[in-house]
């Protein structure tokens, strides 16, 4: 398994619709966390986006997973990026 750091960026024009879809988005995240694929997630305090840490077999599997996010399905992401990340210290590092 590879750990990926995923960044979501939002457009302020979609804020109201994101508010409507947020419960579905968080429910989806909860399910992914329950099965061990989501390590952590949370919005930036300024509301411009979010950082999410996932475990996935490879980048293709990650992108297939991210495509299921209600925010992605509803077209509410201005952009997203993902990069493989190697945690070497701290609580997460001991898991890999």
Q: Is the pLDDT of residue 63 over 90?
A: yes
Q: Record the pTM.
A: 0.92
Cα–Cα separations (whole angstroms), residue 6 to 16, 20, 37, 77: 23, 22, 13, 12
Closest to 56 (Cα-Cα) out of 41, 77, 35: 35
For tokens 């694929």, the residue is 37
Do 8 and 49 touch, CB atoms closer than 8 A?
Answer: yes
Segment 47-74 mean pLDDT: 97
**Domains present along the chain, CATH in parentheses:** 2-86 (3.30.70.1060)
pLDDT in tens, 15-44: 999 999 999 999 999 999 999 999 999 999
């Amino acid at each position: 398994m590879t750990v990926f750091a995923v960044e979501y960026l939002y457009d302020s024009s979609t804020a109201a619709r994101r508010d409507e879809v947020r419960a579905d988005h968080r429910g989806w995240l909860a399910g992914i966390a329950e099965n061990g694929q989501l390590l952590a997630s949370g919005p930036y305090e300024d509301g411009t986006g979010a950082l999410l840490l996932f475990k996935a077999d490879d980048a293709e599997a990650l992108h297939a997973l991210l495509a299921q996010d209600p925010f992605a399905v509803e077209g509410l992401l201005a952009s997203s990026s993902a990069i493989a990340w190697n945690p070497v210290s701290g609580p997460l590092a001991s898991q890999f």
